[in-house]
Chain A
Amino acid sequence: MKRHVRKLLTVVTEAAVESILIKEMESLGAQGYTITSARGKGRRGARHAEWMPNSNIRVEIVCDAATSEAIIKHLHEHYYAHYAMIVLCADVEELRPDTA
């Protein structure tokens, strides 16, 4: 069993930007992602998952350090000023099948 040190990016943001955000992340090198609906409260107030204009998503991406830096930089430049968004970055170990 191999273990790889990778970066886990967690982005919590507005559902309205989902399709654009995903396209941009893929073009920056993300090879996969997981999206879940999210609820919570932050600087821009409480956000409920049920109703589209007011709903949140949580996007998780496992990638290498260079990709995660590129994505963080992009999000900071294009989203942080105007959208409800929080980005977390953590070191994680990814388990891969031995054949890979």
Chain B
Amino acid sequence: MIEPVVLFFLLGIVAGALRSELRLPGAVYEFVIILLLLAIGLKGGVELARQELAVVLPQMLGVVAMGAFLPLMAFPVLRGLGRLSRADAASVAAHYGSVSVGTYAVAVSYFTNRSIPFEEYIPLLLAVLEIPAIVVGIILARGFSLGIRVKSVAREVLLSKGIVLLLGGLFIGWIAGEDGIGSITPLFFDLFKGILALFLLEMGLITAAQLGSLKRHGVFLVLFGIAMPLFSALVGTALGLWFGLSVGGTAMIGTLAASASYIAVPAAMRISVPEANPTLSLAASLGVTFPFNVLVGIPMYHGLAVNAHLLWGAA
């Protein structure tokens, strides 16, 4: 059974590929992203209030380590097999160590449709996972002589829309609690799937726009854009298992690991590593990895988590 929201994504891709004039107005797209980020943050915050710090803190450190580890794995492959320049390899690697909130949102929809429970404070881990890969990416490109723009980049990342809304939502949800956010439920939660559908429609159009540059950059990027998330999902699944998460939660960490950034990291890399070609990273992350994860990845990572739990879980 294919998700209805995924059909919207396919509609966007087809319309974009046929060069339809369809396009979500800029302000509407911004609004849709703001709603998604806040909804995800709020949900996470409510759940976070029920958690012990002693449980959550080690998991935060665990995903930070994963966010730093994944680009370090990707970088030599991009340099060696992909023959990318140092800056390009570092930038692409950073995209793959970071996360995509859009992919997480699709996973939320996938798991709730199937009534598969997962640890709902995961948005906190999502917010944390955005950052380490950016730092590693900059170091891979620049070495430790970070140069003058560090402050601007730090500002750009920490005060970016994504981080502020996600953390802000978490905070509000945490303070307000389940009962407190009841009054805003209609907008943020009842409409979640409809908003996600609009978001995916535009993402389809954006993905289709990447297909041209994908053709120019060839087979390697396509293979990397599929192989890297598969490898990352294994790492994420192992981490979720080690955290002792449920099957759904383990699959979520796998999905987060597999997803590649296309908003926070491109903006940070553009400023800190200007010589890296932005179309390369975006073609891979948006043209290959995002559609791969949305269409086939998430069910695969779910299967992976189920099997991992059968083999090693709850022993």
A20–B282 contact, CB under 8 A?
A: no
Given contact pairs A17-B271, A20-B152, A20-B271, A50 touches B279 in the complex (Cβ within 8 A): no
Q: B156 an interface residue at 8 Å Cβ cutoff?
A: yes
Q: List B contacts of A83 (CB < 8 A).
A: 274
B270–A17 contact, CB under 8 A?
A: yes
Q: A52 an interface residue at 8 Å Cβ cutoff?
A: yes
- Chain A residue with the shortest CB-CB distance to B267: A16
**What is the CA–CA distance of A62 and B65 in the complex, to the nearest angstrom?**
49
**What is the CA–CA distance of A52 and B33 in the complex, to the nearest angstrom?**
12
Q: B80 an interface residue at 8 Å Cβ cutoff?
A: no
- Chain A residue with the shortest CB-CB distance to B149: A20
Q: List A contacts of B206 (CB < 8 A).
A: 51
Given contact pairs A16-B271, A83-B274, A50 touches B29 in the complex (Cβ within 8 A): yes
* CB of A85 to closest CB in B, whole Å: 11
Q: List B contacts of A48 (CB < 8 A).
A: 209
Given contact pairs A14-B270, A17-B270, A19-B156, A51 touches B275 in the complex (Cβ within 8 A): no
Q: B262 an interface residue at 8 Å Cβ cutoff?
A: yes
Main secondary structure of the interface of A (DSSP, over half): mixed
B24–A53 contact, CB under 8 A?
A: no
* CB of B194 to closest CB in A, whole Å: 20
* CB of B288 to closest CB in A, whole Å: 16
Could you say which interface size class chain A belongs to?
A: 10 to 19
Q: A82 an interface residue at 8 Å Cβ cutoff?
A: yes
**What is the CA–CA distance of A48 and B25 in the complex, to the nearest angstrom?**
11
- Chain A residue with the shortest CB-CB distance to B210: A54
A53–B25 contact, CB under 8 A?
A: no
**What is the CA–CA distance of A52 and B282 in the complex, to the nearest angstrom?**
12
* CB of A50 to closest CB in B, whole Å: 4
Q: A86 an interface residue at 8 Å Cβ cutoff?
A: no
A82–B274 contact, CB under 8 A?
A: yes
Could you say which interface size class chain B belongs to?
A: 20 to 34
Question: Which residue, B23, B152, B278, B282, has most C-beta atoms of chain A within 10 A?
Answer: B278
0/1 per residue, A30-51, Cβ < 8 Å to B? 0000000100000001001111
**What is the CA–CA distance of A17 and B149 in the complex, to the nearest angstrom?**
11
Given contact pairs A19-B152, A20-B149, A45-B279, A52 touches B274 in the complex (Cβ within 8 A): no
**What is the CA–CA distance of A81 and B149 in the complex, to the nearest angstrom?**
17
- Chain B residue with the shortest CB-CB distance to A46: B209
Question: Which residue, B25, B156, B206, B270, has most C-beta atoms of chain A within 10 A?
Answer: B270
* CB of B5 to closest CB in A, whole Å: 19
Q: List A contacts of B262 (CB < 8 A).
A: 53
**What is the CA–CA distance of A23 and B25 in the complex, to the nearest angstrom?**
29
Q: List A contacts of B270 (CB < 8 A).
A: 14, 16-17, 53
0/1 per residue, B111-128, Cβ < 8 Å to A? 000000000000000000
**What is the CA–CA distance of A20 and B29 in the complex, to the nearest angstrom?**
25
A53–B263 contact, CB under 8 A?
A: yes
0/1 per residue, A71-86, Cβ < 8 Å to B? 0000000010111000
**What is the CA–CA distance of A53 and B23 in the complex, to the nearest angstrom?**
16
Q: B218 an interface residue at 8 Å Cβ cutoff?
A: no
A50–B23 contact, CB under 8 A?
A: yes
- Complex A-B: 15 CB contacts under 8 Å: A17-B270, A20-B271, A23-B152, A45-B213, A48-B209, A50-B29, A51-B26, A51-B29, A51-B206, A53-B262, A53-B270, A54-B282, A81-B274, A82-B274, A83-B274
**Given A16-B271, A20-B149, 5 other A-B contacts at CB below 8 A?**
A16-B266, A45-B279, A49-B26, A52-B263, A79-B274
Chain B: residues with CB nearer than 8 A to chain A?
Answer: 23-26, 29, 149, 152, 155-156, 206, 209, 213, 262-263, 266-267, 270-271, 274-275, 278-279, 282
